[in-house]
Amino acid sequence: MAFDLDIEFKEEFSKQVALLANAFGLDKMELIEDAIQEAFYKALRIWPSRPPQNPKGWIHRVARNNLIDKLRQKKHLSIDQYHNNLSTEDSLWNDPQHIKDNQLKMIFACCHPEVKTADQLLLSLKFLCGFETGQIARVLLKSRSAVEKGISRARIKFKKVANDLEIPAVADLKYRIDGVLKVIYLQFTEGYKVSEGAHLINRDLCIDAIRLGELLATYPELAVPELSGLLALMYFQASRLEARLDENGNLLTIDCQDRKHWNYKFIMQGNIHLSKACANAKLSRYYIEATIASFHCAAESYDKTNWPAIVKWYDLAISVYPNKSYRLNRLIAARQFLDDKTILDQVKESLLPNNQFTAIFLGNLYRDLGENKIALEYYQKVDNFFLNKPEKDFIASKIAQLPI
């Protein structure tokens, strides 16, 4: 199977960070990051002419050797430690469960209770998910400079409090679960719609996020309704991954997707977890969003989707968690059974997010109202927001079809 560096970087980066941090210590995180990045840079130079038979093994060995060289140069590693770490990693790095356990340890290390919640997210996205600064800024809707300062601050605190890469005592796990769920959710979100590059989807990131959630669920103390809600949401969303692009890699919106390509095993798993999430009287974001996603998965077709029920759930979501994106999604759902003039009146009363999704929605609305010049203005605004190539192609096709 081809190993696409553009697609695989985040997944492999997180695995290597977890493995090397477990073997060499959290106090060497900056050296570990540098060593892994150097391995990928070397791969970019060498692989086009000399691709390895085992790409993932190659990345691990080169990253580990880079790190050992750095540690020896700084006199942080003795000859005995060198051989001990070498033999240990050779025997364990290819064990999937070992990798997953260490990734779980890294999540809990990053979500240390003495680290602020905002910094927990920064550390986890940086160390576990392999996000670069610009990607973190887009995911968290922050400026690049703010993220850079935040990461620098978080690193200093992390060094002080996270001495050992071990899962906390079971009794203490529940106090870190909220931060852990946020990290897994953000990882899935980035995989579901990659924020940069030539690809819209990174399926491995999505599946890995689900696996981390399932791994958490193996701990009875962590199998909370919020986790069940998150797992339900991820399974429902992941069920449509294979249908979101056509054979040429073009984006397909849900109304154009062939439901025969939806993964109904994932939908069944989503329903199982959604039923578990009902055990909590508290309506978590994950449970609400999973319930809304379940209406899409249950519908025989786009036209037969229970849009009024979805609108009611968005009304509930807005009442509990006032959110601009919920307002936009509510209008998108309401437009399926209300006339466009009514929707336009509701738009004027709503505070919508300033992003490409609002621009596309308003472009579509004004296009269908016959206001093509206004529609064009909104479509052109999409260029102000960062998009990956399939999304750029998608909006370009809308502009090309617009009669002016």
Stated length of the chain? 404
The candidate with the shortest Cα–Cα distance to 258, out of 270, 245, 269, 271, is 245
396 inside domain: yes
**How do residues 157-193 score in pLDDT, each as one tens digit?**
888 887 666 666 666 666 778 888 988 888 888 778 7
145 inside domain: no
The pLDDT of residue 79 is above 60: no
- Helix axes 177-192 and 133-140, enclosed angle (nearest 10): 100
109 inside domain: no
pLDDT of residue 128: 77
- Measured distance CA(274)–CA(189) in Å, rounded: 19
**And the tokens for 391?**
């999304």
Q: Which residues pair with 251 in a beta bridge?
A: 245
What stretches of 141-282 show up as alpha helix (H) in DSSP? 144-161, 170-173, 177-192, 203-217, 225-238, 264-277
The pLDDT of residue 388 is above 80: no
The domain total for the chain is: 1
The pLDDT of residue 127 is above 80: yes
User: How large is the greatest C-alpha to C-alpha distance in the chain, in angstroms?
Assistant: 75
Residue 133 corresponds to which amino acid? T
pLDDT of residue 177: 85
For 219-223, what is the mean pLDDT? 81
Predicted confidence band at 1 (pLDDT cuts at 50, 70, 90)? very low
**How do residues 9-40 score in pLDDT, each as one tens digit?**
666 888 888 888 888 888 888 889 899 989 98
The pLDDT of residue 139 is above 80: no
The candidate with the shortest Cα–Cα distance to 36, out of 106, 112, 126, 119, is 126
Q: Burial letters for 261-271: b for 16+ Cβ neighbours within 10 Å, e otherwise? A: ebbeebbebbb
- Measured distance CA(390)–CA(178) in Å, rounded: 33
The pLDDT of residue 86 is above 80: no
**How do residues 249-308 score in pLDDT, each as one tens digit?**
788 889 999 999 999 999 999 999 999 998 765 789 999 999 999 999 999 999 999 999
Cα 227 versus chain centre, distance: 16
378 inside domain: yes
- Measured distance CA(265)–CA(365) in Å, rounded: 35
pLDDT of residue 191: 79
**How do residues 36-60 score in pLDDT, each as one tens digit?**
989 988 988 888 888 888 888 888 8
What stretches of 74-116 show up as alpha helix (H) in DSSP? 79-92, 96-110
Which residues lie below 8 Å from residue 334, measured CB to CB, with a gap of 6+? 307, 311, 343, 346
337 inside domain: no
Specify the 3-state DSSP secondary structure of 152: helix
Q: Which domain holds residue 375?
A: 354-404
Predicted confidence band at 81 (pLDDT cuts at 50, 70, 90)? low
62 inside domain: no
The pTM of this model reads: 0.77
382 inside domain: yes
What is the 3-state composition of the chain as percent helix, strand, coil, each rounded to the nearest 5? 70, 0, 25
Contacts of 368-371 spanning 24+ positions with Cβ under 8 A = 368/340, 369/340, 369/341, 369/344
223 inside domain: no
